[in-house]
Structures are given as C-alpha cells and as structure tokens.
Structure 1
Amino acid sequence: MKAEVKQYSMVGGEFSSYWPDDVTDFCIGADVTVGPEGVPGGDIFSFQVCTPRWLAHSAGGKPCFIRHTILMDEYDEDVLKSTVRKLVENTTGNSWEEIAKKLARYMFWEFEDYQA
C-alpha cells in the first residue's frame, strides 16, 4: 500500500499565501492531509517548518528537542512541498495504520496516541 498527499496548509491559510518577512529566519506550523493512494480523504499530519537561524536564537544557545520539525536554510514553497511529498510517497506498508505510524516518526499524526 502507498500513500499520497491530498492537501497542504499553513497555520492561517494555504501554503501559497504564506511568505515570511525573512526567508532565512522563520518558524511556522504546517499541516498535510495524507491518505491511501487513490482513495478520497485522509488524516492530518502536522509539523513546524523552521530555519537553523530561527532555531539558534529561539533556543537561546541551549539544547532543544525538535521532533516534528523540518529544517530548511530558507523558505521555498516548492522545495518544502517536494520534501514532504517524497517522504509520503516513499513510505509504504501493509495497511494505512502501518503507513501512518511510520509517518508519525516525522510529523504529528492527528491520531497519534489515540485510544478508543
């Protein structure tokens, strides 16, 4: 089974409407909807997109954890989408749950730690 990106969005809107004041110093939350290839709908996976420059001054010189974060030297919507798309397309499994759990190593899955 394979997965595909259904939709990209940033906090407050679409990827195409976001542009940081400084492309080398920013951090923003983002979501992608991902689901099984060829099947409508999907689950939401969230992550931060930050630059090393932003991280350096944000952390104040102290160590920090950066789970669910994509680091890029400068903002580039096409590179960002391509990076996420490649991760999703290269993640396979025997079931959707298996794929989603693998993707949750990189992005926060809306059903991560969910218990019925």
Structure 2
Amino acid sequence: MRAELKSLFSPDADPLKDFAPTGQFGILVMAMIGPAGQQGHESFDFMLCTPEWFASNIREDFKMGRHYLFVRDFDYTQLERFIREYCESCGEAPTWSALAEKLARLGKWEFEDYGPYRAPPPAW
C-alpha cells in the first residue's frame, strides 16, 4: 500500500490556492491523504509558517516543534509538490495504519493515539 495526497485545505486560508500573504504568516493546513488509487482519506494537520511568525508566537520558555512546516514564502504549487513527494518517500507498507504512522511525522494524524473504547471495570 502506498500513500497519495488527495487534497490540501486550510480553515485559515480558504481557498488555499488563493492564499497570498504579505510578510510573516502561520496557517493550519490539513493534508487529506489516503491509499493510492483508492477512495477515502484521512487528515494530517500541520502549521505552515515562516520562521519569523513562529518566533513571534513563542510565549513560553519552550515551544515544541512537532507538526510545523517552515517556509520563507507561500507557493501553493511548491507546497503541493512537497507533500506529494513526502507521501512517495514513505514508500510501501502492508497496512494503512503502518503507512499513516510514517505520514504522521509530517502532520498530526486525525487518528493519532486512537484506541478502541474499553468499558471501565464495574464499580464494587
């Protein structure tokens, strides 16, 4: 099984293709990725931002950098190409879950840390 980018969306810049920032920016991007050649997708979310935006938004002594993608300028075509190439770089996996774990290094997988519901033990 291989991964394929199905679409890119941003609730902060809709439509994302028309986003035209001036200066520093930070937006949430949702990469809809699914099994290549099949229907369906899941969301892998990341902050797309300039280094300056990131620096100006640090309000604590420490800031984790997971699920941030840094760019100097916004270019939709380059972003789409980067995500497609990232999907290709994940190679093949025997299951979607195994592939999604690799994709989750780019963005937060909507099912990250998901586990089936387990009823609590009965109260005594």
Q: Deviations over 1:16-54 (max 9, x none)?
A: 1322232xx000001011111100111111111010111
Q: Deviations over 1:77-114 (max 9, x none)?
A: 11111111111122121211101011112210000011
Separation in 2, partners of 1:72, 1:104: 19
* TM-score w.r.t. length of structure 1: 0.89
Alignment gaps of 5+ in structure 2 = 117-124
Alignment gaps of 5+ in structure 1 = none
Residue of structure 1 in register with 2:17 after alignment: 16
Separation in 1, partners of 2:60, 2:79: 26
Residue of structure 2 in register with 1:101 after alignment: 101
**Contact 1:10–1:18 under 8 Å retained in 2:** no
Separation in 2, partners of 1:71, 1:36: 26
SS of equivalent residue, structure 2 residue 57: helix
Superposition deviation, residue 60 in structure 1: 5.7
SS of equivalent residue, structure 1 residue 59: coil
Q: Report which stretch shifted further, 94-103 or 56-65.
A: 56-65
Superposition deviation, residue 67 in structure 1: 0.7
Separation in 1, partners of 2:63, 2:79: 23
Superposition deviation, residue 14 in structure 1: 2.6
Superposition deviation, residue 61 in structure 1: 9.0
Alignment RMSD, CA only?
Answer: 1.6
* TM-score w.r.t. length of structure 2: 0.83
